[in-house]
Amino acid sequence: MRYGIISDIHSNWKALSAVLDVLDKEKVDRHLCPGDLVGYGADPNRCVEEVRRLSCLTVLGNHDSVAAGREEPTYFNPHARKTIEWTREVLEGENRGYLKELPMKRNEGGWLLVHATPSEPEAWHYILSEDRGAREFPHFNEGVCLFGHTHYPFLLAQGPGGFKSLRGNKFHLEPDTRYLLNAGSVGQPRDGDPRAAYGVYDSEAMTVEFRRAEYDIATAQKKILDAGLPRFLAERLSKGV
Ligand code: ZN
């Protein structure tokens, strides 16, 4: 099986469609989405509809939770809050219902999916360092825990020699090693590279690739401005921050 990993789409249809064009051409069998389909961008319905159409294995993100009315955006910054309130208004009933029913965790084929952390998924903690990541390993049993939320590609291995952060674009998953993995954000990358970030997992070859796709950033920005959403959210897309 080959899986496409599409996380933190954040209502950015231009980015999602560019990534799916590549994954469709390569005929991946299944899609994995560790949450945050909506928030920040201007195309929430189109993005949720596409994820539903793909029968993607999806978990709940914090923006999805607020958009669906499961929690209030009390801890959101003003830009995120303004956009999520707009998202609540425009989100169609079936799409809201889909988000509302998403589980916090899901597993398939020896992988666990969660948006933030396996230890306390509903607390929306951020795994941004090797130390923070290492503390999560006792909280999952699967070989790989796939997460999102930080918008940074990240791969931490726990093998016979201890913990090791892996850098690069293509990795071979070893049988005696467990992994904590984030393929970055499709719709709002924050690692300085504005191209959409996604991943490909091949369960036969046991490889994972971190990939980037060029997309029409100018149109995604224009849609944000045309919808009356914060200019800051448009500007950051071309910087990848
Ligand atoms: Zn996110």
CATH code, domain carrying 133: 3.60.21.10
Residues with CB under 5 A from ligand 1 (ion): 8, 36
pLDDT (mean) for 142-164: 97
Q: Where are the alpha helices (DSSP H) in the chain?
A: 13-25, 44-53, 62-67, 78-90, 93-100, 130-134, 217-226, 231-239
- Cα 149 to middle of ligand 1, angstroms: 4
Residue listed under structure tokens 């469709």: 24
| pLDDT given at position 119 | 98
In the chain, the number of structural domains is 1
Average pLDDT rounded to a whole number, residues 58-63 = 98
Q: How far is the CA of 143 from the centre of ligand 1 (A)?
A: 24
Task: Determine the distance separating the centroid of ligand 1 and the alpha carbon of 127, expressed in angstroms.
Answer: 12
Average pLDDT on 3-10 reads 98
Ligand 1 center to residue 161 CA distance, Å? 32
The per-residue pLDDT for 151 is 98
Residue 196 sits in which domain range?
A: 2-238
Q: What is the pTM of this model?
A: 0.97
pLDDT band, very low/low/confident/very high, at 215 (cuts 50, 70, 90): very high
pLDDT in tens, 77-117: 999 999 999 999 999 999 999 999 999 999 999 999 999 99
Helix H or strand E segment including 180: strand 178-183
Mean per-residue pLDDT, 176-197: 98
Question: For 176-180, what is the mean pLDDT?
Answer: 98
